Structures are given as C-alpha cells and as structure tokens.
Amino acid sequence: MNSSSPPGGAVPEPPLWEQMATDARNAEGERLQKVLARAGFGSRRVCEDLIADGRVTVNGDEAVLGRRVNVEVDEICVDDAPVGILPGLVYYLLNKPEGIVTSALDTHGRETVLDFVPSEPRVFSVGRLDIDTTGLLILTNDGQLTQFLTHPSHGVEKEYIAEVECGQNGVSNGALRTLRDGVELEDGITAPAEVGQLEPGVLRIVIHEGRNRQVRRMCEEVGYPVIRLVRTRIGPLRDTRLAPGQWRELTVDEVRALSSAVDIDALDTM
C-alpha cells in the first residue's frame, strides 16, 4: 500500500490549499443565520434551527451552521424558495388607478405608477397593466424576484374581473369554453385559463401568461369586448382594502409567498 494512502480506506482530507481556500471564503461575508434573521425568518436561534434541519441552501448546496455568505452574489433559499436578502430591497403593492401609465417615464408627460410610491430607492413594476386597466401591481428593486415572477415559463397566476359588452343573457357557454381552452390570437393560442361568469357580463379570469393586453384581446376575439378590467390578485397576493392610488409595503410573509409561488423546477432551466 502506498504510504500516503489513508489507513482502512478512509476518505482522504482535501489538499491543504483547498482547505485554505474554503476557510478564506467562509471568513468573508456575514453569518447565514444573521442574514436570515434580518430577512424576517425569526430570531438567530430560529434561523440556526432552519439551517440545522437542512432547510437552507446556498448556491444549491445545503448550508451548515457557521456558513458565511456574500449577500451580493450568493443565492440563498429556504425550503427551495429564493430569499430576497440584499440590503435596501423594497416591495410595494399598489392599486393602480385608471389612466395611469405603467412605466418609469412617459414621453407624453402623463402620470406614471412611480408617482405614487417613494422615489428612493428607485423601483420598477413587475409586469404591466395597460392605461385603462386598474388593480394590483407590484413595484420593487429586487431584480431577481422580478425575473422569476415575469419569466414566461413559470408566470404566477393573475386574476382579473372583466366587465364585458353583452346582452341580457351574458356571455355564451361556447365563448366561455373557448376562453378556458385557449383563444387563437395573432401571437399564438393562449394557454388554458380559469374562467367563470359571476353574473351576466361579469367574468372572473385567471391566466398564467403575461402577454400585452391579453385579457382584453381574448374577450374581444370571442365577441365580448371589455368595458372595465380590474386585476384583483397576483399569485398569493390579494388586498381588497387598498383604494385606487393607495400603496403599501409587502410583509415578509408576502415576499416569501411570492418566492414560493415561482416554479423552482422551471428556474433550473433558465
């Protein structure tokens, strides 16, 4: 047997240079439990228990107690849900009024959604609502979460209430079936949707895609143009108390719920 081989078939220790590199990485950054506590997962002791139970990963690897992280580059997940832990991240929920533009800057000088929330730090909308559509809109400076929520391969559910033009009998069963199964639009057939008629001419529509003016185009294609459109839910987020033009910050639990709403398996293919 080679004198350098470990006795009894034991796994050899990594080379000294590799141990030194690992120690150097671990010496940088903040302790993981401190970062999780700051993100709202509980006290440091609670966060230590999360790590010890194997529920926390860093860059895809199961974390261990004592792990240090660099919040600028490391991807941290709890129960497979990405955690927004960069300092200075903000998350706003706005009830967008009618006539307001969903953009950072309007070339015609019209009021935009950014006029309703604090100017610092700078935020961007997660997805869009056309100028005539009202309802819930998320604004944040968390680019990673925005990418996850808007990526077409795993868009979260968006629920709308649509008032449409129709007779006293409401929308026909055939049109409802087409809306549910998929509508042929100029940019392709739409994915299956949840569609119900709450009362004649008032539809509840839940879609997973984020095409431009999608709900309006779907309804018009089946012969029932939209008169009024309101987005009432984004994934797990719903708030009936926000008046048009009002906004509030999302809670830590709501941010976690949004992260959990993302299809993690789909993220691996990005």
Element (H, E) at 181: helix 173-181
Give the integer Cα–Cα distance in Å for 214 and 207.
Answer: 9
Q: Note if 132 is an active site residue.
A: no
Contacts of 175 (CB under 8 A, 6+ apart): 222, 223, 224
Residue 112 gets which letter from DSSP?
B
Strand partners, 135: 96, 231
Spatial contact of 218 and 224, defined as CB atoms under 8 Å apart: no
Q: Which of 74, 106, 130, 239 is catalytic?
A: 130
Query: Two tokens at 162?
Result: 């649509």
Tell me how many degrees the CA angle 7-8-13 measures, rounded to the nearest 5.
Answer: 55
* Angle made by CA atoms 37, 241, 42, in degrees to the nearest 5: 10
Q: Active-site residue numbers?
A: 130
